[in-house]
Amino acid sequence: MIATSLRHDGRVALVTGASSGIGRALAHAFAAAGASVVLAARRADVLASVADAIRATGGAAVAVAADLGSRDGAERLADAAAQPFGAPSILVNAAGINIRKPILELTAGDIDSTLAINLVAPLVLAQRLAPAMLAAGFGRILNITSQQQSRAFNHSGIYGASKGGLAALTRSMAEAWSAAGVTTNAIAPGLVATPMTAAVLADPARAKALAARTMVGRNGVPDDLTGAALFLASEAAAYITGQTLFVDGGFSVT
């Protein structure tokens, strides 16, 4: 039982933000664990290369280009995600943007796009995909949040607000659907080396200082999140819901 608890054979997983960073790592992980994976992101060419890489290792993957910056885009993705392999029973909301500006310099477009991608799209996707999960009696929704859901970081005000909202949404969806077998949890990464954090890590002194604030003595990499995601999406985690798991090397408790 322990050896197979992280397997996802026969499951269909939709992973947003799958063209790079954490989303790409999670897409590879779910495919390696036996799931058929629908990859979603805006950059069709890059996304196709990720799908090719997964298939080259024997996994099942289909790329679906999607713009989650609008409600219509999220709804179209939800409809398209059910076509290649059937209705997804696992939804991983890993797509996100972080526009790093002082709060007084944020434009209406900055605010709208951040909230649309980081908060509204996960809600719309869950609304569209949860009914099939509820009918099947099994579903797993995983939201990738952030340290900034609970602490402030410089020039990330609207990003932090969107991730705080996503953590609250996680609890609300868990309350609504867990009794029917559809659980919802969040993973809050520490500082992980991705294109989104490249500007931060480009400063060696800052990168070193942030690593020193962890208990393990280093900043994260995308693969650090895969074990937690595979577990929370598994049947072994059926009694875990509404939680945010901080995968951050101890950063959040120092």
Query: Among all residues, which ones are annotated catalytic?
Result: 159
What contacts 24+ positions apart, CB below 8 Å, involve 166-174? 166/93, 166/118, 166/119, 166/122, 167/143, 167/244, 169/119, 169/122, 169/123, 169/143, 170/141, 170/143, 170/145, 170/242, 170/243, 170/244, 171/242, 173/126, 173/130, 173/141, 174/241, 174/242, 174/243
Q: Is 215 exposed, middle or buried (0-12, 13-18, 19+ CB in 10 A)?
A: exposed
